[in-house]
Structures are given as structure tokens and as C-alpha cells.
Amino acid sequence: MIYLLASVALSVMLLLNFRLFPRFNVNTVQAISLNYVVCFITGYLLLPAGTSFTLDLGQTWTWIALGIGVAFVVTFLLSGESTQRNGITATSLANNLSLVIPVCVSLFVLGGGGRAFDGWNYVGLVLAVVAVGMSTYKKSAPGGPETASTSTLVAMLPVAVFLMYGFTNTMINVMNVRYIATGQSPVVVTLTMVVGAITAGTLLFGYRIIRGIDRIEKQNLLGAVTLGVPNFLSFYTLVLALSAFKGNGAFVYPLYNIGVILLAAAVAALFFREKLLTINKIGLALAILAIGLISWQEFV
């Protein structure tokens, strides 16, 4: 459980970075592009003694991990674009509701890690989806970004965010069940994913520099560091949490998503004085109930 709690806390640190970037004039796209280099350095320092890191391109899992890394960058970029075009509400819902994809794959494809779901667990799973929607709901400002465009492409951005977040989380679980569980080091697997992200991020960064869209500034480099360290550790501890619960994504992902929402809401209220609507408060209460129903066997 400690790995799951650590992953939740580190994920909220990512949100704090994005919340504070505008205050310090950090270019979010540049910080995203460069943060994966910091991720790699962080992971390399965590390699167990006597363990070296090499890319074995003859292994199927290596290519899968590299593909997941590229998907990380694409997901971040889609999320940013959707937030600008459709607003935070639609994007946040798409992000958090994507938990249904890895949960369903874990239950019906991977077998749920050997832990059978009972009726209360399924009720908790449904409540988790409802809680995520209610706790992230925000009223749209008249004429705001969510009503600025009705084009098909813009309207499909939240759908793309939903699918990409669901895909990356699902593939992390597949990697855990099919490869890490058979002897691969979690750090090595995670570092391989980061290499894929570095490749995509470097290409993006180089393109934006060449086109004159961005220029290197020290606050962007600092933003890459403050983003990269918790970024790697959040994924690494999530992988460890999945391993600890025998690849049971149906148990881990609802607790992870709801935990992030609860902690983020508390941090936002305490440090940024953000107010919750009544529907948000009901959603948070349902989230606590959902946690109890999903994990009551573990607590007992």
C-alpha cells in the first residue's frame, strides 16, 4: 500500500507543477519536452547495485516499452491542447474516467491478478466512475473556452485524451503482468519507457527551437527538473504498486485515481483557496465510499 500512496502523492506534485508554471513564466511544452531527460537520470540513479541498463532491441517488451514512452509525450500534449480548446472540465473528466479501460482489461483480459471481484466491488467500481465525474465537474464560464469551438476535431480532443490515458495505464499493467512478473527489473523497464519519451520529447523540442517557437530559458530548465523527478517516481511507484498487488489493476487504478482527486482537492483548498461546488463535495464523499467498497477485502 505504501507504493500506491507514494504514487498518489507524487502525481499530485505533477499537478502542482502545472499549477505553478504560469506564476514563474515556465513554458509548459518545453518543460514537458525536457523533463524526460531528468526522468532518465532519476531512474538511472535508482538502478540496483550491479545492475546495468542497456536497450535489448531483440526483445518484444523493449519495443512495447519504447512505444509507451512515446505515448506519454503524446498524451501530455493532447491533454494540454484539449485544456486550451475545450477547458479544464472536459479534459479532467476524460483523464480520470479513463480508469475504466485498464480496470476492464485487468478484470476481463488479464484475470484481475487472481483476486475475484464480488458484488460490492463492482458497485464500488461504478461509484468510482460517478465520483470521478462529480468531483471534477466545473461550471463553464459564458463564452469560455468550452463553448468557443464546435468543430469536430476540437470536440474529439477529450476523446483522444480518454483513449491515450487509458492506453498508457493499460499497457503499464500489461508490462507488469507479462514481463516484470517474469523477472525483468521494474527500474529497467521504466527506464526503457523513458527512453521512448526522451526520443519523442527531443524531436519535439528540436522542432520548436528550429522553428523559433521556443528559446531555451533557465526557468524552463528548472521546470523540467521539478517536473521530471516526480514524473519518473510516480510511474515507478505505480509499477511497484501493481507488482505488490499481483498485477491487479482493477484494484489499484480506482484507488490511484480517486486518491489523486482527494489529495489534489485538499491541496487546492489549503494552498490555493480553490472552492468546491456542492456536486464536487458529494463526489468526494462518494469517492471515499467507493474506496471502501473496492478494497474492503484488503482492509478486512
With respect to residue 237, please indicate whether it lies within any of the assigned structural domains.
yes
With respect to residue 219, please indicate whether it lies within any of the assigned structural domains.
yes
The predicted structure's pLDDT at residue 196: 92
* Amino acid type, 114: G
Per-residue pLDDT tens listing for the chain (300 residues): 899 999 999 988 888 887 888 889 988 888 888 888 998 899 888 887 777 788 878 888 888 889 999 998 898 888 767 766 765 556 666 777 787 788 778 777 776 555 567 888 888 888 888 887 777 676 655 554 444 444 677 778 878 888 898 899 888 878 777 776 566 677 787 788 889 999 998 898 888 888 888 788 899 999 999 999 998 899 889 888 888 887 777 778 778 878 887 888 788 888 877 777 888 888 888 888 887 887 777 666
The predicted structure's pLDDT at residue 41: 92
- The conformation of residue 248, written as its DSSP 8-state character, comes to -
With respect to residue 258, please indicate whether it lies within any of the assigned structural domains.
no
With respect to residue 8, please indicate whether it lies within any of the assigned structural domains.
yes
Q: What is the per-residue DSSP string for 8-49? A: HHHHHHHHHHHHHTGGGT--HHHHHHHHHHHHHHHHHHTSPT
In terms of Cα–Cα distance, which of 65, 46, 48, 49 is closest to 57? 65
With respect to residue 129, please indicate whether it lies within any of the assigned structural domains.
no
Model pTM score: 0.74
Q: Which helix (H) or strand (E) holds 257?
A: helix 249-271
With respect to residue 259, please indicate whether it lies within any of the assigned structural domains.
no
The predicted structure's pLDDT at residue 273: 78
Residue 276 CA to residue 287 CA, distance in Å, equals 15
Q: Compute how many other C-beta atoms are within 10 angstroms of the C-beta atom of residue 19.
A: 15
With respect to residue 261, please indicate whether it lies within any of the assigned structural domains.
no
- Show the domain range for 7: 2-47+56-115+149-247
What's the total number of domains in the chain?
1
With respect to residue 200, please indicate whether it lies within any of the assigned structural domains.
yes
